[in-house]
Structure 1
Amino acid sequence: MTAQDRINAYWTGRAPSYDEYQQRPDHLAVDQQAWSEVWKDALPPAPSDVLDVGTGSGQVAMVLAGLGHRVTGIDLAEGMLDRARQHAASMPNGPVIRRGDAVHPDFPSGSFDAVTSRYLMWTLREPEVAVANWVRLLRPGGTIAVVDSTWFPDGLENASENFTEHYDPQVQAVLPLATAQSIDQTVTVLETAGLTQVTVTPLTSIYELDRRFGVAPNHEHQMQFLVTGQR
């Protein structure tokens, strides 16, 4: 079993509870509104062709489609793909969900106006290779926009969530951003890929939303960041 197989198994097992938390009716609408504002400001005007890598249960892909973009979401965890397909099928002009590797997305060069990801960078193997491939998929002037945080600066073994069964030393060895001490490490990855105008935006609106409604079980309340760059 490869490191990626272990990651896929973990997220397939997490898919039901992860998706149910995302869909909580008490704050689903306000969540979607807040994230719509984040992505609207980050991306080219709709309608644009957008690839959401590591789409998971499809929450970002659905928000982007709701903004009027033509969205394709890819992931390798079958459990997450099942959830994402269910959501996509419920929406007119919903995202296209397909199995695909975020490190090596199988699309022709220049297929998209933007590539997005949320909560992927920390668990992304070969991030510099991945982002270079995302740049290849962009049309001139296209945008890469990623959201993440420094979730585990003290190491995965000290995380409040139990990763040890799947995120073993073999897996951790291929995830250079898993224990990042600063979001600047993600910035460096985007700059190394040749992107220009790389900027970091603290997502204060999401921080306040988490303060208001709480965070997922075994998670900590902390600042998330939007990192964008242009081809």
Structure 2
Amino acid sequence: MTAQDRINTYWTGRAPSYDEHVQRPDRFTADQQAWSVIWAQALPPAPLDVLDVGTGTGQVAMVLAGLGHRVTGIDLSDGMLERARRHAAELPRGPRIRHGDAVAPDFPPGSFDAVTSRYLMWTLREPDVAVANWVRLLRPGGRVAVVDSAWFPDGLDNASENFAGCYDERVQAVLPLATATSMDQTVAILEQAGLTDVTVTPLKSILELDRRFGVAPHHDIRLQYLVAGRV
């Protein structure tokens, strides 16, 4: 089993509880509103062709489709893909959900106006290779916009979340951003891929929601950031 296979196994097992947290009725409407504002500000006006890499249960893909974009979401976790397809089918112009590798998306160059991700960078193998591949998929003026945080500055072995059995030493060795202490490494990767005007925006609206409603079990409240750059 490869390191990526172990990551896929973990997220397939987590898919039901992860999706239930995203769909919490007490928070869902507030989340949709907050994320709609964030992504509307991160990208040019719709309609764009957008690739959401590591789409998971499709939360970002659904928000982007709701903004009027033409969205394709890819992931390697079968459990996550099943949930994302279920949600996409409920929208009149929902995103296309496909099995695909965020590190090497299988699309022709110049296929998209934007590449997005949320909570992917920390668990992304070869992020420098991945972002370089995303840039090749973009048309002139295209954007990369990713949301993440320094989730595990003390290491995955000391995290409240139970990663045992999947995120072992071999997996952690191929995830250079897993224990990042700031977003500086992510910024550097985007800049090294040739993106310009890279910005870091703290997502205070999401922090406020986390403080108001709480976060998933065994997770810590962390300030999240949008890191974006353009071709």
TM-score interval for Structure 1 and Structure 2 normalised by the shorter chain:
over 0.9
SS at match of 2:103: coil
Question: In 2, distance between residues paired with 1:208 and 1:67?
Answer: 23
Partner of 1:25: 25
For 1:157, the aligned partner's letter is D
Post-superposition CA distance 1:189-217 (Å, at most 9, x none): 10110100000000001111111111111
What residue ranges of structure 2 are gaps of 5+ in the alignment? none
For 2:100, the aligned partner's letter is G
Partner of 1:160: 160
Question: In 1, distance between residues paired with 2:207 and 2:64?
Answer: 20
Partner of 1:221: 221
For 2:61, the aligned partner's letter is A
> Aligned-pair distance for 1:160?
0.2
Partner of 2:73: 73
What RMSD, in angstroms, separates the aligned Cα atoms of the two structures? 0.4
For 1:195, the aligned partner's letter is L
> Aligned-pair distance for 1:3?
0.2
Do the aligned residues in 2 keep the contact of 1:44 with 1:113 (CA within 8 Å)? no
Question: In 1, distance between residues paired with 2:98 and 2:43?
Answer: 22
SS at match of 2:106: coil
Post-superposition CA distance 1:170-197 (Å, at most 9, x none): 1000000000011111101101101000
For 1:135, the aligned partner's letter is V
Question: In 2, distance between residues paired with 1:126 and 1:202?
Answer: 25
Question: In 2, distance between residues paired with 1:222 and 1:152?
Answer: 10
Post-superposition CA distance 1:124-183 (Å, at most 9, x none): 000000000000000000000000000001000000001021000110000000000111
Question: In 1, distance between residues paired with 2:150 and 2:46?
Answer: 30
Post-superposition CA distance 1:48-83 (Å, at most 9, x none): 000000000001100000000000000000000000
Kindly indicate whether residue 24 of structure 2 is the aligned counterpart of residue 59 of structure 1.
no
SS at match of 1:92: coil
The equivalences for 1:1-231 within 5 A come to 1-231=1-231
For 1:227, the aligned partner's letter is V
Do the aligned residues in 2 keep the contact of 1:44 with 1:114 (CA within 8 Å)? no
Question: In 2, distance between residues paired with 1:155 and 1:169?
Answer: 11
TM-score (norm 1): 0.99
Question: In 2, distance between residues paired with 1:190 and 1:183?
Answer: 11
> Aligned-pair distance for 1:222?
1.2
Question: In 2, distance between residues paired with 1:215 and 1:135?
Answer: 32
Question: In 1, distance between residues paired with 2:181 and 2:208?
Answer: 22
> Aligned-pair distance for 1:27?
1.1
For 1:149, the aligned partner's letter is S
Question: In 1, distance between residues paired with 2:36 and 2:122?
Answer: 22
For 1:170, the aligned partner's letter is R
Question: In 2, distance between residues paired with 1:193 and 1:34?
Answer: 29
Over 3 Å off, 4+ runs:
none
- Count of residue correspondences: 231
What residue ranges of structure 1 are gaps of 5+ in the alignment? none
> Aligned-pair distance for 1:44?
1.5
Question: In 1, distance between residues paired with 2:119 and 2:227?
Answer: 12
SS at match of 1:117: strand
- Sequence identity (%): 78
